[in-house]
Amino acid sequence: MTNPTAAMLVIGDEILSGRTRDSNMHYLAGELTRIGIRLAEVRVVPDDSAAIVAGVNALRTAYDTVFTSGGIGPTHDDITADSIAAAFGVPISHRADAMALLAAHYDRQGLPFNEARQRMARIPEGARLIDNPVSIAPGFSLGNVHVMAGVPTIFQAMVASVLPGLTGGPPLLSQTLRVMRGEGEIAADFGALAAAFPELQMGSYPFSLNGAYGTNLVIRGTDPARLDAAMTRLCRLFA
């Protein structure tokens, strides 16, 4: 049994210009790993329709599920919904259920439901809305693409809405052994161990602490018995 794959398309000039540090990728990676979906690729593209269309079309054909973040607000630079519609070749318009949600929200707040705010009800034909408990304006799912806000609190709420509807695979387990030895010292034995367990992934991540070199040795896989067996041998080698 293999794990389903996912990709993420981060849409945002603010990430590429260095103004903002993306945090959604790290959050999504952790959530997907937890439910046994393998995040296989992430792309970050600017607020540019051609780049979004090319990115989403490349990813949605290559992977089981795609998540996008960013560009679904009320301002002129929010072009994600239109770009997704273009990528799928479907029309986009103000949708009645999204309009109703937003109209009620702004009514409760005593704020005008103006043209800019109505823009957030523009949804490509055939999409399903993604609930936004934080600020109401919905995301949407079209085919295997889930289109979500870039603001981290809203992104996280939308991920929580979408994940229960996805089929995960066996849990992606990992175990880590931290050793105070440099990578060059453990490489031969660690490589031999990795070769003995081809169904597991083994990675080494060096660090330095107070001038001394250390390495985190990480073993990943889905078979708990094999993972334990490898970890036992790893500990015998280095711990």
Interacting residue ranges for its own copies, rule: CB under 8 A:
10, 13-23, 25-33, 38-47, 51, 73-77, 106, 111, 114-117, 119-120, 151, 172, 174, 182-188, 190-191, 194-195, 201-207, 218, 220
Q: Is 164 exposed, middle or buried (0-12, 13-18, 19+ CB in 10 A)?
A: exposed
Compute φ and ψ for 110, nearest 5 degrees: 70, 30
Q: Toward its own copies, which CB reaches closer, 30 or 165?
A: 30
The tokens for 235 are: 């500990």
Q: Which is nearer to its own copies, 126 or 191 (CB)?
A: 191
Rounded distance between C-alpha atoms, residue 8 and residue 118, angstroms:
27
Question: 207 has which bridge partners?
Answer: 214
Report CA-CA distances (Å) from 226 to 73, 171, 175, 200, 219.
47, 14, 12, 8, 10
Neighbour tally for 215: CB within 10 Å: 22
Q: How far apart are CA 203 and CA 140, in angstroms?
A: 36
Write down the least CB distance from residue 2 to its own copies, Å: 14
In the complex with its own copies, the residue whose CB is nearer, 90 or 220, is: 220
Residue placing its CB nearer to its own copies in the complex, 126 or 201: 201
Output the CA–CA distances (angstroms, integers) from residue 133 to 107, 138, 205, in the order listed. Answer: 16, 9, 38
Whether residue 48 contacts residue 37, with contact meaning beta carbons closer than 8 Å, is answered with no
Strand 5-11 versus strand 38-45 pairing type:
parallel
Nearer to its own copies, 188 or 225 (CB): 188
- Closer by beta carbon to its own copies, 15 or else 130: 15
Alpha helix positions (H), the chain: 13-16, 24-34, 49-62, 80-88, 96-109, 115-119, 152-162, 183-196, 224-238
Q: Which residue's CB is nearer to its own copies, number 58 or number 90?
A: 58
